[in-house]
């Protein structure tokens, strides 16, 4: 049996950047505590590694309690709504903004359309941290849709409308939502007796770090007998990529911890591949490879 690690897997650059910023502040010798607002990454093992270096996870409710302390609060790659910046400013707490630049750009674009009086539609998950940030940018007046049906029932097509996507959603569904809205608009124009000119823009803001990875992952999954997909269960991007791998190879198994692997998954397999989400650290996939090697007493390639 051959065991390999997907060469295109591992942290995306936005997450690498956030973790590097955290490590840089943790090691700056200032002795000032470093907190992060929510889990820095959707991976329990990486959270534990950074916790051991001193990074403490807090919630928004803890910010006021840091007033007067010399603690600093890191904003993670998903970003935050403007209300969080105001909350920290009022409490006199220093923020370190490690928002992924791709997310910052998305927020800026949403703000621009919102200020121009567009109806903002976001293809995403309402309670995902990144979407909460985007919702905050437009005073929570955007419409969040997850399916074509959501879009058809919730979007008011009498208004100029712009469609964006959470950066980690899947492109085929985004395109289906876009096409359904376009189709509905063209029907409205034909049906209407008035001379209406409806404005609709679709902005594909799915991150290239996620979408570019899908084709490579599908090819890698198809080229192996079994795929062990390692990610945190909370990772949105992990769920998308797992489904890509599973579609290409039904013998794809999702694990968060090494102990979840089962011997029967490997029955008759000669090629085993290990892959993960953009939040899965490379060292964890190496640990999984070592565990498979130890379990079957293999020669790892």
Nearest residue (beta carbon) to ligand SF4: 14
Q: Which is nearer to ligand SF4, 15 or 227 (CB)?
A: 15
Our CB check for ligand SF4 shows the closer of 134 and 207 to be: 207
Q: Give the shortest CB-169-to-ligand SF4 separation in angstroms.
A: 11
| For ligand SF4, the closer CB: 167 or 280 | 167
* Nearest distance from C-beta of residue 232 to ligand SF4, angstroms: 14
Supply the DSSP string of the chain, one letter for each residue: -EEEE-TT-S--HHHHHHHHHHHHHHTSSS---EEEES-SSS-HHHHHHHHHTT-EEE-GGGTGGGTTS--EEEE-TT---HHHHHHHHHHT-EEEE---HHHHHHHHHHHHHHHTTPEEEEES-TTSHHHHHHHHHTTT-SEEESSHHHHHHH--TTS-EEEEE-TTS-HHHHHHHHHHHHHHHHHHHHH-SS-----EEE-----HHHHHHHHHHHHHHHTSSEEEEE--TT-HHHHHHHHHHHHH-S-EEEESSGGG--GGGGTT-SEEEEEE-TT--HHHHHHHHHHHHHHHT----
Instruction: Report which of 7, 97, 22, 43 is spatially closest to residue 237, judged by C-alpha positions.
Output: 43
d(CA 73, CA 85): 11
Q: Which of residues 161 and 235 has its CB atom nearest to ligand SF4 in the complex?
A: 235
- Contact residues for ligand SF4, defined by CB under 6 A: 12-15, 77, 100, 102-103, 167-168, 207, 209-210, 237, 278
Q: Is the CB of 237 or the CB of 280 nearer to ligand SF4?
A: 237
Q: What gap in Å lies between CA 37 and CA 95, rounded to an integer?
A: 10
Taking the complex as a whole, how short is the minimal distance between the CB of residue 93 and ligand SF4, in angstroms? Answer: 24
The answer to whether 80 is a known catalytic residue is no
Both tokens of 265, joined, read 């998954």
Residue 180 CB, nearest distance to ligand SF4 (Å)? 25
Supply the minimum distance, in Å, between the C-beta of residue 301 and ligand SF4: 29
Closer to ligand SF4 by CB, 80 or 155: give it: 80
Rounded to a whole number of angstroms, the minimum distance from the CB of residue 69 to ligand SF4 is: 29
Q: How many Cα atoms are found within 13 Å in the side-chain-facing hemisphere of 10? A: 9
**Catalytic-role residue among 48, 64, 94, 130:** 130
Residues identified as active-site: 130
């Amino acid at each position: 049996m051959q065991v390999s690690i997907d060469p295109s897997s591992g942290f995306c650059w936005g997450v690498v950047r956030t973790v590097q910023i955290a490590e840089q502040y943790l090691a700056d010798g200032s002795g000032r505590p470093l907190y992060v607002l929510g889990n820095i990454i959707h991976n329990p093992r990486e959270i534990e590694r950074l916790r051991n270096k001193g990074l403490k996870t807090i919630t928004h409710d803890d910010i006021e309690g840091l007033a007067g302390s010399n603690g600093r609060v890191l904003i993670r790659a998903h970003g935050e709504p403007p209300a969080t910046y105001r909350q920290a400013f009022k409490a006199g707490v220093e923020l370190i903004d490690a928002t992924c630049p791709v997310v910052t750009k998305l927020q800026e674009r949403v703000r621009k359309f919102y200020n121009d009086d567009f109806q903002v539609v976001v293809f995403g998950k309402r309670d995902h941290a990144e979407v909460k940030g985007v919702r905050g940018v437009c005073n929570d007046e955007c419409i969040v849709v997850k399916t074509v049906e959501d879009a058809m029932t919730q979007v008011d097509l009498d208004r100029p409308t712009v469609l964006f996507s959470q950066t980690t959603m899947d492109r085929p569904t985004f395109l289906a939502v876009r096409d359904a809205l376009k189709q509905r608009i063209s029907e409205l124009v034909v049906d209407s007796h008035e001379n209406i000119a409806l404005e609709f823009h679709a902005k594909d803001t799915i991150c290239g770090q996620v979408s570019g990875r899908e084709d490579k992952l599908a090819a890698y999954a198809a080229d192996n007998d079994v795929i062990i997909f390692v990610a945190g269960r909370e990772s949105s991007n992990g769920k998308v990529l797992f489904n890509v791998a599973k579609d290409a190879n039904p013998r794809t198994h999702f694990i968060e911890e090494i102990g979840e692997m089962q011997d029967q998954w490997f029955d008759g397999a000669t090629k085993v591949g290990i892959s993960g989400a953009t939040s899965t650290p490379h060292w964890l996939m190496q640990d999984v490879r070592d565990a498979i090697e130890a379990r079957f007493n293999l020669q790892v390639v």
